[in-house]
């Protein structure tokens, strides 16, 4: 049953990613048609998007740890945490990640790093204080799964595509305003494409962001299912998620730039359909339901 959940979430992620890729190709075609730049414009935008993502990919972990005021954990001070990470890394078949601690009584955790060889798991002191052993193990297994599933690299590729679409949309809008390009508006086909291009230039960034958020939620479900495989005890993570949801203490180290990294959103926001639509995490109730069905 657990393996079925993992396979289903992987299929959904890659299918959504495939449609995202096709969406990028379509935007590149429209951009070339509207501006008259052809493939050159789309390739230029792709290069810029990759350069923008390069810094994030290689240095984001250092920046996030500094923003979060995290410090390296020691075996003497955090013996059980260190042993738990060590054991789960062996079970996951990946190198042991570096462990950092945030001195904050609000319970939460996140993983960062570009691959398993350069990974970090960071937990708050509140998480260690408020979780029992099975719950703490479930949370660590979830973060370990993000590392093992290469979620950071996967979402980096998504970020590149979002950046590409944002650049193409902005350049298309500027083309409309300044009347640039070599558009063939005499033909009926050309006029139809022009209308489509105008609509997509306006809506594409929003569509791209929604697809990015949908992919992020899929990867959270995948990490939950993978964590259940690592621990062989889905109830541990399910119970931890319920505790995290009930704990309303704000995490002072978190902000909107880092909130998406945590196992649950540390910024207390109102629950609504729109909020769930624009959230990087799926509803905790649904996550718990899926875990207990495994």
> What residue segments make up the domains of the chain, in order of their start?
2-62+152-209, 69-150+218-292
Write down the catalytic residue from 135, 137, 143, 220: 143
In angstroms, what CA-CA distances link 184 with 43, 176, 179? 22, 14, 13
Per-residue pLDDT of the chain (294 residues; tens, 9 = 90+): 555 655 665 676 677 677 777 777 777 777 776 666 666 666 766 676 677 667 666 767 788 888 889 999 999 999 999 999 999 999 999 999 999 999 999 999 999 887 888 899 999 999 999 999 999 999 999 999 999 988 877 776 777 777 778 777 877 777 766 654 455 555 666 677 677 777 877 888 888 888 888 888 988 999 999 999 999 999 999 999 999 999 988 898 888 778 888 999 887 655 555 566 678 889 999 999 999 998
pTM for this one? 0.79
What residues contact 184, with CB distance under 8 A and at least 6 apart? 190
Q: Assess whether 143 carries a catalytic annotation.
A: yes
Domain 69-150+218-292 has CATH 3.40.50.300: no
DSSP state string for 67-127:
HTTEEE--TTTSHHHHHHHHHHHHHHTSPPPEEEEE--SS--EEEE-SSGGG-EEEEEHHH
């Amino acid at each position: 049953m657990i393996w079925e959940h993992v396979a289903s979430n992987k299929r959904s992620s890659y299918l959504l990613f495939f449609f995202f890729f096709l969406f990028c190709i379509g935007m590149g075609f429209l951009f070339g048609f509207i501006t008259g730049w052809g493939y050159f414009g789309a390739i230029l935008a792709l290069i810029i998007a990759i350069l923008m993502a390069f810094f994030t990919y290689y240095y984001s972990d250092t920046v996030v740890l500094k923003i979060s005021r995290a410090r390296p954990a020691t075996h003497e001070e955090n013996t059980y945490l260190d042993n738990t990470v060590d054991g789960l890394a062996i079970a996951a078949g990946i190198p042991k990640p570096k462990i950092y601690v945030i001195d904050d009584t609000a319970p939460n955790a996140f993983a960062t790093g570009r691959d398993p060889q350069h990974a970090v798991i960071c937990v708050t002191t509140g998480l260690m204080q408020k979780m029992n052993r099975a719950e703490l193990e479930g949370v660590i297994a979830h973060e370990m799964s993000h590392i093992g599933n290469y979620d950071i690299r996967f979402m980096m590729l998504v970020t590149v595509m979002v950046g590409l679409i944002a650049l193409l949309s902005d350049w298309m809008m500027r083309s409309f305003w300044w009347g640039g390009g070599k558009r063939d508006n005499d033909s009926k086909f050309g006029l139809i494409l022009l209308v489509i291009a105008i609509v997509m230039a306006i809506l594409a960034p929003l569509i791209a962001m929604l697809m990015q958020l949908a992919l992020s939620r899929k990867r959270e479900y995948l990490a939950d299912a993978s964590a259940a495989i690592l621990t062989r005890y889905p109830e541990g993570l399910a119970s931890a998620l319920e505790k995290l949801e009930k704990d309303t203490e704000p995490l002072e180290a978190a902000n909107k730039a880092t909130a998406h990294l945590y196992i649950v959103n540390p910024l207390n926001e109102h629950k609504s359909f729109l909020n769930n639509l624009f959230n990087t995490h799926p509803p905790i109730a649904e996550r718990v339901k899926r875990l207990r069905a495994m």
